């Protein structure tokens, strides 16, 4: 089925999310929609899926204009969508989820659910596309990658001929990503068209037949998968971007941070951080790699004193940090960028200026005898806004109104604006536009070069490899190993799935993977 | 469902990827978000809510007026009779209210003419101070329903110092006021400590402490220390003159120095919330406790401090009330001050200046309502209805916006687009 979007325009108030977008998806093609967060990719797909009404423009299926008033229409026309958040009922089985919304009943007309037919359908589809899926498994027990397959099967079970995948790899390990890429190729061979929404350049080049780049709600061009990553990034951002940091090798000084046997228990008493030990020297960056939810969050919270570890010690220049309050830890010279800036990093209602002094307001620099020194706060804001190139209308603008990249710059500017003995940044560039990533990375490296031990937690392998002097890989609360920064990606990927370093090296040598190619 | 998806690209936070949003949503307390939306609404909604309440109050006056009812019997024969009667009833009632609350044009001397205004200011005084206390809580994300109990404690301690000790003028008054502040601060501090230590919800605890305060006072008024010698009436001795707030205008008006205290308290709260480190933390915790915690602000400590400051102001209101106008403790000393203070804080959008005028407005409604009842026979309950409607409309800004066709704020635009 050929799908064509012509002149799609959609605005929300003054914001034009889609501006006359034209897009043609040929039958059996994998078409990547590449763009930064907020470029309008998701809006476009929601228009296509019938969730939004376009202000103008039309949708054509096999050259026939169609209108969808809701997802049901779109599904009926053969368009399936796998959302970034899975739309599955966690307590239902795979088969039940697949039949949800178009339940078939047994003959006889009394409304008995025909689960067998659904099971059969799941097996059939799984066989056809060569992956494993147990129709009777309960969805909440399945790993994320498999849940995603359920979503895909759900769409295919309704005879989807165009499949929209919205940022499908955001939650996957590199290995799961490879499996997904395999499935996408199978689907393509069977004649299904795929719209692959992403901002990850590596994957686009691995799988796409054609690439359409969207920037600020408009199509800025198309590219072939042979285009270099730098070219694609430049198209996305609208200016030349250098993807490689080209940082100088680290010159590690004395080891000042020692974490020994750190263990954090969750509410049920099971260890979410399990006997973690590492050391960190002045002037080096240790990145903590791992798939989201493997204890990185809890480790960071323990380091800052937000979470009380059950065992272990954290020594900073010989002083024990365990047992201190977050304020004491911050005062001891720890800078902290939390993984979720909008929740933990910023007070959205507060102005940029106020956010820039959020954890410094009690210091002599910004207050006197309990009264805020508004002049100093304003001066600091002007200074930081310029230094970090924070794009804001003014220092008094509410921080919640800034773009993700600029919000992150505010947090980073605040945390780096005082002398540090340890800098911890969790997901420093998540949801940040490509242009800002480069800038933020340079600031972090500059902090390292100034002699600060730096701990970066990231689930983005690109970022891990880019920033690291050494890489620690975390899996289910444990450190799988600490490896040099030149460790191949497929080895890292295996380690992120819990395979120890030696074994991972051996396995990677036997079965080189797609994403592993440099 | 569609609302959330809409937000993905249209909201100002569109730079945030989906997984973060999903995490953020359930973590924010629904109640707190609603509270913040109410508190941060614009002043236009306050004014319009009041106008709307007056209109509906007017309808009620018209419908319950005997002359209107009589004229309505022959409505279809002479409709203008009903409409005229209704207009007259409403006009008379509101005119009487204005005469009673602001300026009496029928009076023969200037003093008598502006006496209603000074009375309004007198009644508004404790209301403003207590509302400031409630507002400090609101801005820090805490719903201090316990102003009533804190006022009772403030009045009890302040009053006791006022009638039980003999001290030089000035010092006596100062100590009595400080006693009131302390009483309220401790009472609210209990709720603060309970919330900080155990997570007990401040709404429940403060409501319950209201009852404890009420019955504690009732008990105290049966003891020898709190009653006049040889009397079995549940009223305390009068506050000594050295501890009374002096009258500002002379004997013809009850207006006392407490009004100046209210002005000073308003300025203090403005300074506290916008110019002090403590207020910065209060606001940060109220707006985003997660980020505050990550920034090293101790949430439990802040909760206790917020409650103490909030209660101190309510206690001061109680002290001012007894030392300025009541001059003796009775079981019903606080009246409905503590609850009216919540309304005033809402009407004033938790901003000191707004609260100052909202308090005057409320005082005026109470004072004017009495005159309205006496002059036109319109029940004073209408005033309660108007006050209740004001709260209702303020709590539902979208309703007021819809009625007056005001533009919707940014965030709502995207939602509307999906509908």
Q: Where are the domains of chain A?
A: 3-237, 244-333+419-518, 351-418
The most confident of A170-179, B62-71, B84-93, B188-197, by mean pLDDT: B188-197
d(CA A452, CA A460): 23
Q: What is the DSSP letter of A253?
A: -
Tokens 């053969």 correspond to what residue?
A78
Give me the total of CB pairs closer than 8 Å, taking one residue from chain A and one from chain B.
156
d(CA A225, CA A196): 13
pLDDT at residue A292 in the model: 78
pLDDT at residue A68 in the model: 85
Cβ atoms A373, A366 nearer than 8 A: yes
Chain B contact for A52 (CB, 8 A cutoff): yes
Question: Which SS3 state, helix, strand or coil, does residue A274 take?
Answer: strand
Distances (CA, A) of A339 to A372, A421, A431: 29, 20, 11
Which residues have C-beta within 8 Å of that of residue A148, sequence separation ≥ 6?
A: A82, A86, A168, A171, A172, A180
Chain B contact for A330 (CB, 8 A cutoff): yes
Residue A133 clears pLDDT 90, i.e. is over it: no
CATH architecture designation of domain B37-404: Orthogonal Bundle (1.10)
Which residue in chain B has the smallest CA separation from A337? B294
At A23-69, the pLDDT tens digits run 999 888 999 988 877 678 878 888 888 888 888 888 888 888 888 88
Percent of chain A whose predicted confidence (pLDDT) is above 90: 31
Q: Please, which residues bridge with residue A368 across strands?
A: A371
d(CA B74, CA B72): 5
B152 vs A11, more confident: B152
CB–CB of B18 and A17 under 8 A?
no
Residue A483 clears pLDDT 90, i.e. is over it: yes
At B230-249, the pLDDT tens digits run 777 888 889 999 999 999 99
Task: Tell me the average pLDDT across B337-346.
Answer: 92
Question: Which SS3 state, helix, strand or coil, does residue B48 take?
Answer: helix
B299 vs A517, more confident: B299
At A330-373, the pLDDT tens digits run 999 999 999 888 889 999 899 999 999 998 988 889 998 889 99
CATH for A3-237 (3.50.50.60, 3.20.20.300, 3.40.50.300, 2.40.30.40): 3.40.50.300
pLDDT at residue A444 in the model: 93
Tell me which chain A residues have a C-beta less than 8 angstroms from the C-beta of B275: 371-372, 374
pLDDT at residue A109 in the model: 63
**Average predicted confidence (pLDDT) for chain B:** 84
- Evaluate whether A3-237 and A244-333+419-518 have a shared fold: yes
At A384-437, the pLDDT tens digits run 999 988 888 889 989 988 877 888 999 999 999 889 999 999 988 877 777 788
Mean pLDDT is lowest, of A126-130, A160-164, B138-142, for A126-130
Residue B412 clears pLDDT 70, i.e. is over it: no
d(CA B349, CA B46): 8
Task: Tell me the average pLDDT across A466-481.
Answer: 92
**Average predicted confidence (pLDDT) for chain A:** 86
d(CA A260, CA A283): 20
Task: Tell me the average pLDDT across B302-321.
Answer: 97
pTM above 0.95, yes or no: no
H or E segment and range at residue A311: strand A311-316
d(CA A115, CA A106): 9
pLDDT at residue B29 in the model: 58
Task: Tell me the average pLDDT across B360-375.
Answer: 90
Determine what percent of chain A falls in helix, strand and coil, rounding each to the nearest 5. 35, 25, 40
Rounded to the nearest angstrom, the minimum Cα separation between A432 and chain B is 7
**C-alpha of A45 from chain center:** 19
Closest-CA residue to B89 (of B71, B107, B101, B102): B71
Tell me which chain A residues have a C-beta less than 8 angstroms from the C-beta of B298: 325, 327
Which residue in chain A has the smallest CA separation from B419? A52
User: Which of B271, B276, B279, B288 best tests the A interface by mutation, with the highest count of A CBs <10 A?
Assistant: B288
For A30-84, what is the HEC assignment? EEEEECCCCCCHHHHHHHHCCCCCCCEEEEEECCEEECCCCHHHHHHCCEEEECC
DSSP A387-423: HTT---S-TTSBGGGS-HHHHHHHHHHHHTSS--SEE
pLDDT at residue A357 in the model: 94
Task: Tell me the average pLDDT across B363-386.
Answer: 88
CB–CB of A37 and B17 under 8 A?
yes
pLDDT at residue B73 in the model: 82
d(CA A43, CA A41): 5
Which residue in chain A has the smallest CA separation from B283? A350
Task: Tell me the average pLDDT across A468-486.
Answer: 92
DSSP A216-241: TTEEEEEE-TTS-HHHHHHHHHTS--
H or E segment and range at residue B189: helix B171-198
pLDDT at residue B43 in the model: 72
d(CA B5, CA A51): 9
Which of A84, A345, A403 lies at the smallest CB-CB distance from B15?
Answer: A403
d(CA A116, CA A106): 9
d(CA A100, CA A113): 11
Tell me which chain B residues have a C-beta less than 8 angstroms from the C-beta of A326: 293-296
Other beta carbons less than 10 A from residue A395's beta carbon: 20
Domain ranges across chain B: 37-404
CATH topology for A244-333+419-518?
Rossmann fold (3.40.50)
pLDDT at residue B352 in the model: 94
């Amino acid at each position: 089925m050929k799908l064509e979007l012509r002149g799609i325009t959609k605005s929300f108030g003054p914001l034009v999310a889609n501006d006359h977008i034209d897009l043609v998806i040929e039958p059996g093609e994998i078409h990547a929609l590449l763009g930064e967060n907020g470029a309008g990719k998701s809006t476009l797909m929601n228009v296509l899926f019938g969730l939004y009404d376009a202000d103008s423009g039309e949708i054509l299926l096999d050259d026939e204009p169609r209108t969808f008033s809701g997802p049901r229409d779109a599904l009926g026309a053969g368009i399936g969508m796998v959302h970034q958040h899975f739309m599955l009922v966690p307590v239902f089985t795979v088969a039940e989820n697949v039949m949800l919304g178009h339940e078939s009943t047994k003959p006889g007309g009394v409304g008995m659910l025909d689960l067998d037919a659904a099971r059969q359908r799941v097996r059939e589809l799984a066989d056809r596309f060569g992956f494993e899926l147990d129709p009777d498994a309960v969805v909440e027990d399945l790993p994320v990658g498999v849940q995603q397959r359920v979503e895909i099967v759900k769409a295919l079970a309704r005879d989807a001929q165009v499949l929209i995948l919205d940022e499908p790899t955001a939650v996957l390990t590199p290995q799961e990503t490879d499996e997904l890429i395999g499935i996408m190729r199978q689907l393509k061979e069977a004649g299904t068209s795929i719209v692959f929404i992403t901002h990850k350049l590596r994957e686009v080049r691995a799988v796409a037949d054609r690439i359409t780049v969207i920037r600020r709600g408009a199509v800025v061009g198309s590219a072939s998968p042979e285009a270099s990553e730098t070219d694609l990034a430049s198209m996305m951002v609208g200016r030349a971007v250098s993807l490689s940091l080209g940082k100088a090798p680290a010159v590690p000084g004395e080891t000042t941070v020692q974490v020994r046997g750190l263990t954090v228990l969750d509410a049920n008493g099971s260890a979410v951080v399990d006997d973690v030990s590492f050391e960190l020297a002045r002037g080096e960056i240790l990145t903590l790699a791992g798939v989201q939810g493997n204890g990185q969050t809890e480790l960071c919270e323990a380091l800052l004193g937000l979470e009380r570890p059950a065992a272990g010690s954290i020594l900073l220049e010989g002083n024990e940090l365990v047992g201190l309050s977050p304020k004491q830890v911050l005062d001891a010279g720890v800078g902290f960028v939390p993984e979720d800036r909008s929740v933990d990093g910023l007070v959205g209602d507060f102005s940029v200026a106020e956010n820039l002094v959020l954890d410094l307001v009690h210091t002599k620099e910004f207050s006197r005898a309990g009264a805020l020194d508004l002049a100093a706060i304003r001066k600091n804001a002007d200074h930081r806004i310029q230094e970090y190139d924070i794009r804001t209308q003014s220092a008094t603008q509410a921080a919640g109104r800034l773009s993700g990249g600029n919000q992150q710059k505010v947090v980073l500017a605040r945390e780096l604006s005082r002398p540090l003995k340890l800098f911890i940044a969790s997901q420093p560039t998540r949801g940040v536009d490509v242009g800002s990533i480069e800038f933020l990375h340079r600031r972090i490296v500059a902090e390292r070069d100034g002699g600060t031990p730096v701990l970066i937690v990231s689930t983005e392998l690109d970022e891990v490899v880019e920033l690291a002097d050494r890489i620690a890989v975390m899996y289910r609360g444990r450190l799988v190993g600490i490896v040099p920064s030149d460790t191949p990606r497929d080895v890292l990927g295996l380690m992120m799935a819990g395979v120890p370093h030696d074994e991972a090296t051996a396995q990677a040598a036997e079965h080189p993977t797609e994403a592993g190619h440099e | 469902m569609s609302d959330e998806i809409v937000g993905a690209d249209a909201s100002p936070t569109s730079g945030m990827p989906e997984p973060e949003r999903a995490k953020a949503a359930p973590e924010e307390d629904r109640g707190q978000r609603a509270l913040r939306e109410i508190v941060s609404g614009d002043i236009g909604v306050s004014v319009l809510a009041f106008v709307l309440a007056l209109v509906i109050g007017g309808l009620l006056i018209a419908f319950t007026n005997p002359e209107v009812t009589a004229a309505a019997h022959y409505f279809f024969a002479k409709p203008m009779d009903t409409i005229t009667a209704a207009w007259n009833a409403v006009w008379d009632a509101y005119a009487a209210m204005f005469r009673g609350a602001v300026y009496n044009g029928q009076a023969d001397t200037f003093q008598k003419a502006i006496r209603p205004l000074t009375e309004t200011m007198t009644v508004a005084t404790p209301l403003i101070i207590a509302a400031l206390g409630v507002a400090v809580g609101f801005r820090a994300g805490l719903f201090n329903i316990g102003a009533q109990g804190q006022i009772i404690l403030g009045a009890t301690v302040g009053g006791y110092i006022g009638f039980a000790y003999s001290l030089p003028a000035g010092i006596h008054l100062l100590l009595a006021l400080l006693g009131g502040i302390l009483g309220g601060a401790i009472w609210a501090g209990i709720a603060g400590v309970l919330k900080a230590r155990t997570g007990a919800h401040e709404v429940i605890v403060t409501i319950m402490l209201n009852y404890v305060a009420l019955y504690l006072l009732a008990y105290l008024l049966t003891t020898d220390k709190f009653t006049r010698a040889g009397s079995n009436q549940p009223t305390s001795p009068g506050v000594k003159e050295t501890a009374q707030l002096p009258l500002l205008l002379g004997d013809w008006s009850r207006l006392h120095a407490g009004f100046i205290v209210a002005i000073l308290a308003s300025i203090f709260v403005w300074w506290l919330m916008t110019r002090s480190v403590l207020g910065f933390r209060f606001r940060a915790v109220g707006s985003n406790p997660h980020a505050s915690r990550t920034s090293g602000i101790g949430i439990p400590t802040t909760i206790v401090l917020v409650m103490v400051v909030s209660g101190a102001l309510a206690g001061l209101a109680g002290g001012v009330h007894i030392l300025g106008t009541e001059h003796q403790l009775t079981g019903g000393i606080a009246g409905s001050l503590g609850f009216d203070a919540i309304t005033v804080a809402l009407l004033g959008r938790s901003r000191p200046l707004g609260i100052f005028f909202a308090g005057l407005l409320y005082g005026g409604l109470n004072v004017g309502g009495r005159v309205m009842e006496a002059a036109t026979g319109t029940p004073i309950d209408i005033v309660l209805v108007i006050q209740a409607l004001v709260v209702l409309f303020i709590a539902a800004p979208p309703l007021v916006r819809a009625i007056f066709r005001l533009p919707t704020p940014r965030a709502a635009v995207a939602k509307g687009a999906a509908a």
